[in-house]
Amino acid sequence: MNQKEKHKPILDDGQSTTQKINRFFKNNNYLIVLGILTTQILTMCDNASYKEQMEETLKSNTSYLKKNISTIAYVDSNGIVATLNRKPITYQDSRIINAIINDTTYPLLQGSEDIMGEHTHFKNAKEMVENNPYFKNLFYYKTEPKTRASVAGVLTNIYKVVNNLYYPEFITVLSKKVYYFNTTKDRKNGEITHFNTKIVYRLKTKSWISQLNKWVDQKIIFPIEIKGDIYPSKFANSDNILGYVITKMNVKTLTKPDLNSLR
């Protein structure tokens, strides 16, 4: 036995490693197929399990979101956390009615001390409106140029009486009664809702009567009638959340008591 034969492997059949591997896969391809099928089955099981987990999570989260969206939480003045159920509201909802009424009438319930502020007189009605945030909001954000003549007339009358020192210095609301608040849909444009309302206030005024050199209190009935359009897609903004404008306002101008009636 020569040297080469001595170190030749006993199982060496003269084939290269590549040939051996090819022969193995050729003779045992069923193992490969079985392995692939097993891997696919395991993957499908994992995917099915994952899908079930995702569906369960989605179902749980959806239920949680629906529950929370249907309620609103708040903290009251005593620090107690409370929740209320949300529900759709209409323009006949008392909260909407009061919001519109308060917005449109509060500016008219200011005494001359609040209207004048730091001023002793105004050059014109525009200057008065520009220097009073409530008048300014009422005129510029709760009316539109085409229909603001009615509100402009009311504010002009207030300006004249205030500048002539014939407007009560202080006004206190004793009570308020909403006689009606009616709404109707516009026939041509369903997005527009027309409203008209009548509110009657009981007020207490405090006026300085310079001729008598004393303060005089007076209780009066003060009715206000308002018509307008609610059109959120056109008028709603940060200064007009409900998206409405006044088209007509009927209100008498407040004045101090007649001097002759006091003598």
pLDDT score at 77: 67
Write the CB contacts of 189 (distance below 8 Å, at least 6 apart in sequence): none
pLDDT score at 10: 44
CATH hierarchy code of domain 94-254? 3.10.450
Query: Per-10-residue mean pLDDT for the chain, 263 residues long?
Result: 49 59 59 63 63 68 63 69 68 89 96 92 95 96 94 97 95 96 94 96 96 94 97 91 95 90 73
Q: What angle do CA 155, 161, 163 make, to 5 degrees?
A: 95
Rounded to whole angstroms, the Cα distance separating 14 from 159 reads 117
The full DSSP string for the chain is: --HHHHTS-TT--S--HHHHHHHHHHHTHHHHHHHHHHHHHHHHHHHHHHHHHHHHHHHHHHHHHHHHHTEEEEE-TTS-EEEEE-----TTSHHHHHHHHHHHHGGGG--HHHHHTT-S--SSHHHHHHT-HHHHHHHHHS--GGG-HHHHHHHHHHHHHHHTT-S-SEEEEEEEEEEEEEEEE-SS-TT-EEEEEEEEEEEEEEEEETTTTEEEEEEEEEEEEEEEEE-HHHH-BTTBTT-EEEEEEEEPPP-PPPHHHH-
Residue 230's closest CA among 105, 99, 106?
99
Mean pLDDT of the chain: 83
pLDDT score at 19: 62
pLDDT score at 90: 80
- Segment 52-103, tens digit of pLDDT: 776 676 666 666 666 666 666 667 667 777 666 666 668 888 889 999 999 9
Give me the residue spans of the domains in the chain.
94-254
Residue 100's closest CA among 153, 144, 142, 154?
142
pTM of full prediction above 0.85 = no
pLDDT score at 92: 83
